[in-house]
Amino acid sequence: MLDLILIYCSISANMCVDLRPALDPPLAGFAQCEAAGRGGDADFQAAHPGWHLRAWTCTVRKPPELPA
């Protein structure tokens, strides 16, 4: 499984945020993740018109850590 990380930056402020959108179904391959990254997050973009998608990346999802 892969996580998509989107990096949005504010046009007016010197600030960026990382978003990890919950995707259903989960991304199974890098080609699928790449396609999802190109489109960004339409809901975030609609709600935050002063922000732009600066970059995105796909990472392998780490399994949750078990308590010691």
Phi and psi torsions of 43, nearest 5°: -65, -45
Q: What is the distance in angstroms between the CA of the first residue and the CA of the last residue of the chain?
A: 24
Whether residue 41 lies inside any domain: the answer is yes
pLDDT confidence of residue 54: 92
Per-residue model confidence as pLDDT tens digits over 14-65: 899 999 888 877 778 888 888 888 888 888 888 999 999 999 999 887 777 8
- Structural domain total, the chain: 1
Kindly state whether residue 7 falls inside one of the protein's structural domains.
yes
The structure tokens listed for 68 are: 């010691």
The pLDDT score that the predictor gives to residue 7 is 93
Tell me whether residue 12 is in a domain: yes
CA distance 53 to 45: 8
Question: Would you say the pTM of this structure is higher than 0.85?
Answer: no
Query: Which tokens hold the place of 55?
Result: 């970059």
DSSP state of 46: H
Residue 42, domain extent: 2-60
Q: Which residue has the higher pLDDT, 1 or 16?
A: 16
Residue 44 lies in a domain: yes
Contact yes or no for 54/11 (Cβ under 8 A): no
The answer to whether residue 17 is domain-embedded is yes
